[in-house]
Structure formats: structure tokens, C-alpha cells
């Protein structure tokens, strides 16, 4: 038998090492490629006041992730598209992001736009998350296993405020709102919840859009002498009229505001009218995770963040967590990892709450994660109640 010479063995060893080195070099560019995450936001349309701060929170999260080394050693690259809150543009933007290699898409625009994006993500099997939208039907109208929602459901927000009312033992209440479609939907939801809990509605008033005063409606509320007033409207101009009339008529019964009052812009347009008003929110500034976020965001951007910034931050961090657990950007593995999310503690939510998707469910905000806060002057103040029970 002919034995291989030492020289030939050395040559073979060099060849193996050379092949391995070439393979590593070939893999390196792919491993160094950034992880692309798409964002569909609204920069000019009706959702802009909400979408832009949510986007800013996601941008901050990406900076923080990249400063720590990215995800699985790869930098995060955000691909941001503006859909102007138009569903027809949303679908085009989604296809553009998929073609650009987005592993995941965050939807930050209005409900119709988010639903339209779902038609694309379902077709292309691209994971999609909306971290701020509160529509109760987002996960039920389209059976899309690639879509999740971590914004607190509108029904959960209402349940929390109703639980607060029960805790305060309010027996006779008034509802005051406006006549926008969303405002009327919110009013009906409050009404149904109050009726189920046996609370008597002694007055129900509507301030029409475009009104210049709410005095006639609030005078009727005063005559009904309720224990508390639920502010069910979602349009800021009409809410300001109601708040102004409430003060000018000298009403003293507690005023309970819905989630619309958690947007800081309210304190600007309703300056001097908010002290003592309570409102439902998803943000507790005293929560340790929220405190760390507030300090870091303020240091980076020079301004203090609020709930909408937190929605975007938590959304991107949840995506990053799923990709990390998936071990890469394979969409099917990322989809499975996101669906398996349990016990993720974010910036938003009451102390002790966490994000997670129960088996077969794609809404991930903790039902007991909402809080009720009180305005102290024109500043959003402390939490006075939490949970929907």
C-alpha cells in the first residue's frame, strides 16, 4: 500500500484551512448585513399627531439597540414609509418594504391603513405589529397569523375607567361627548359597561362638532346632579369646550376622561382647565422601566417622553426580542417567536404587568396593565388606580 508523503498531508491541510477561511469570508458579508425593520407611519395626514411620537420612540429604541451591538451582532436599520393615513398608499408602502428586505413591519398609522397592510403581510408572510392602535377588531376582521397588536384595546381602557368608578362607588353618572363616529362608539362602549355594572346614567349629552360652547349640555348635566361625569368624546376642540363649561359653571363632581386626555397636547389647548381631572393611560412614570426610559430618552433627545413615545419603543423592543429568540431573520421562525412571547416587561403598563400572547390570541397588552392618573395643574400626575378589576 502506498503511503501519503508528509508533504502531501501538509498540502491537504493547507487546502482544508484555505477552504474554511474562504467559507468564513463568504459568510461574513451576509452576517454583517443590517436587520431591516419597516415602519409605516403618517407624516402629513390625520394620524400625524399620534404616529410621529410613536415613530420617534421606535427610532430611539433602534439607536439604543445599535449602541449595545444590535440584534445578534447585526445593526438595526429602520426603513420608514409615510402612508399619509391612506389605505391605498399603505398597501404600496408595505410591498415596498417587503421588496427592500424588511424582516418585520411596524404599523403606526390609522386602523384602515393597518388593516390594508395586513393584506400584504398575510400574502407575503411578513410579520407585522401595531404597538399603538387600540381598535378592538384589528385581529378579528382578518385571520392573519403574521399580525399582532400590543396597543391596549379600547375595551380594556374603558373597563379600567369603569373599575375606577366602581372603586369610588359612583352610582349615578352623566355621559358627555361629541358626535364624531369614534366619539359615539366610545360613548356606546361606556354606556354598555355602566349598564352592565348597574350604574344609573342620569344624563347623556352630546356637543356637536363645530360648536362654540358646551354650556347648554353642561347645564343639563348640572341639573341631573350626577356623582361623576364621564367625558366620552375624543375630539380635542369639543373636549376643551366641555372642560371650560365645567369650570365656568362651577361644577364640583369628579370628571373622568378617556384615553384622549392622556395625549400631552391636551394640556396645551386646555391650559388651566385640567386640575383634578382623572384619565386612563398606559404609562406610569413611577414604574422602574418607565423611569429608566424617561431618563435615557431625555438625555438623547432633550425632551421628556410620554406614552406615545413609549408605544414605539416597546414595539421595536418586542420585535428585537422575537428576532433574538428566533436566532435570525427567517420570517417563519420570527413569527413563531413573536407568538410565543410571554412575560415581556416593557416601558408601558402598570407595575407588575407584562406583554404576552396567550395561545391563539394576537392581542398582547395586559388586561390589567392600564392605569388611571390625575392632572395636577396642567401636568399629568400620579397614578391613582390600576387594573380593570
Mean pLDDT confidence for 144-153: 96
What's the CATH number where 273 sits?
3.40.50.2300
Residues 327-336: pLDDT tens digits? 999 999 999 9
Q: pLDDT value at position 209?
A: 92
For residues 212 and 272, membership in a common domain is answered with yes
200-222 pLDDT, tens digit per residue, is 999 999 999 999 999 999 999 99
* Tens of pLDDT, residues 239-289: 999 999 999 999 999 999 988 898 888 889 999 999 999 999 999 999 999
Q: Which three cell numbers stand for residue 21?
A: 477561511
**Residue 14: inside a domain:** no
Q: Is residue 210 part of a domain?
A: yes
Q: Which helix (H) or strand (E) holds 380?
A: strand 379-386
Can you give the pLDDT at residue 1? 47
As for how many domains the chain has, the answer is 2
Answer whether 78's CB lies under 8 Å from 63's CB: no
* 62 and 120 fall within a common domain: yes
Residues 73 and 115 in one domain: yes
- Cα dihedral sign, 375-377-380-382: negative
Q: Give the predicted TM-score (pTM) of the model.
A: 0.87
At 104-117, the pLDDT tens digits run 999 999 889 999 99
Residue 5 pLDDT > 60: no
Residues 346-357: what's their mean pLDDT? Answer: 97
74 and 178 part of one domain? no
Residues 147 and 159 in one domain: no
The runs of H, that is alpha helices, within 108-153 are 111-124
pLDDT one-digit tens code per residue, 25-84: 444 445 579 999 999 999 998 888 889 999 999 999 999 999 999 999 999 999 999 999
For residues 78 and 147, state if they share a domain: yes
Taking the CA atoms of 132, 133, 136 and 137 in sequence, report the sign of the dihedral they define.
Answer: negative
Q: Is residue 90 part of a domain?
A: yes
Given a cut of 70, is residue 18 above it in pLDDT? Answer: no
Same domain, 272 and 291: no
**Cell numbers representing residue 384 in the block:** 391613582
Same domain, 160 and 190: yes
**Within-domain flag for 295:** yes
One domain, residues 177 and 255: yes
Strands, E assignment, 128-233: 128-130, 147-149, 172-178, 200-207, 228-231
Say whether both 123 and 54 belong to one domain. Answer: yes
The more confident residue out of 63 and 20 is 63
Q: Which domain holds residue 258?
A: 155-281+372-386
User: Do 41 and 110 belong to one domain?
Assistant: yes
With b for 16 or more beta-carbon neighbours within 10 A and e for fewer, the 145-178 pattern comes to ebbbbbbbbbebbbbbbbbbbeebebeebbbbbb
> What is the C-alpha to C-alpha distance for residues 60 and 309, in angstroms, rounded to an integer?
9
Amino acid at each position: 500500500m502506498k503511503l501519503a508523503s508528509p508533504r502531501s498531508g501538509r498540502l491537504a491541510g493547507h487546502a482544508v484551512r484555505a477552504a474554511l477561511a474562504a467559507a468564513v469570508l463568504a459568510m461574513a458579508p451576509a452576517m454583517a448585513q443590517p436587520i431591516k425593520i419597516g415602519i409605516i407611519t403618517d407624516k402629513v395626514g390625520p394620524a400625524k399627531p399620534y404616529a410621529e411620537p410613536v415613530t420617534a420612540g421606535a427610532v430611539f429604541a433602534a439607536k439604543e439597540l445599535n449602541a449595545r451591538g444590535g440584534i445578534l451582532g447585526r445593526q438595526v436599520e429602520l426603513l420608514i414609509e409615510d402612508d399619509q393615513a391612506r389605505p391605498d398608499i399603505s398597501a404600496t408602502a408595505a410591498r415596498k418594504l417587503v421588496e427592500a428586505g424588511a424582516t418585520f413591519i411596524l404599523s403606526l398609522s390609522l386602523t384602515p391603513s393597518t388593516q390594508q397592510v395586513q393584506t400584504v403581510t398575510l400574502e407575503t408572510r411578513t410579520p407585522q405589529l401595531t404597538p399603538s392602535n387600540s381598535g378592538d377588531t384589528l385581529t378579528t376582521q382578518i385571520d392573519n397569523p403574521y399580525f399582532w397588536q400590543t396597543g391596549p384595546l379600547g375595551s380594556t381602557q374603558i373597563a379600567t375607567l369603569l373599575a375606577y368608578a366602581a372603586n369610588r362607588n359612583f352610582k349615578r353618572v352623566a355621559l358627555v361627548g361629541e358626535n364624531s363616529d369614534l366619539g359615539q362608539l366610545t360613548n356606546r362602549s361606556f354606556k354598555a359597561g355602566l349598564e352592565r355594572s348597574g350604574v344609573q346614567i342620569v344624563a347623556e349629552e352630546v356637543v356637536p362638532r363645530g360648536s362654540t360652547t358646551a354650556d347648554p349640555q353642561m347645564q343639563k348635566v348640572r341639573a341631573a346632579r350626577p356623582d361623576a361625569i364621564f367625558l366620552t368624546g375624543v375630539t380635542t376642540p369639543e373636549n376643551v369646550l366641555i372642560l371650560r363649561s365645567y369650570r365656568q359653571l362651577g361644577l364640583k363632581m369628579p370628571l373622568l376622561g378617556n384615553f384622549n386626555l392622556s395625549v400631552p397636547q391636551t394640556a396645551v389647548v386646555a391650559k388651566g382647565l385640567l386640575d383634578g381631572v382623572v384619565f386612563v393611560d398606559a404609562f406610569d412614570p413611577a414604574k422602574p422601566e418607565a423611569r429608566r426610559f424617561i431618563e435615557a430618552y431625555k438625555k438623547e433627545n432633550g425632551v421628556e417622553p410620554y406614552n406615545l413615545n413609549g408605544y414605539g419603543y416597546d414595539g421595536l423592543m418586542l420585535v428585537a426580542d422575537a428576532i433574538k429568540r428566533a436566532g435570525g431573520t427567517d420570517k417563519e421562525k420570527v413569527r413563531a417567536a413573536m407568538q410565543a412571547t410571554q412575560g415581556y416587561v416593557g416601558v408601558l403598563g402598570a407595575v407588575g404587568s407584562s406583554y404576552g400572547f396567550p395561545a391563539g390570541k394576537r392581542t398582547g397588552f395586559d388586561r390589567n396593565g392600564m392605569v388611571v392618573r390625575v392632572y395636577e395643574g396642567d401636568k399629568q400626575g400620579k397614578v391613582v388606580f390600576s387594573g380593570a378589576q
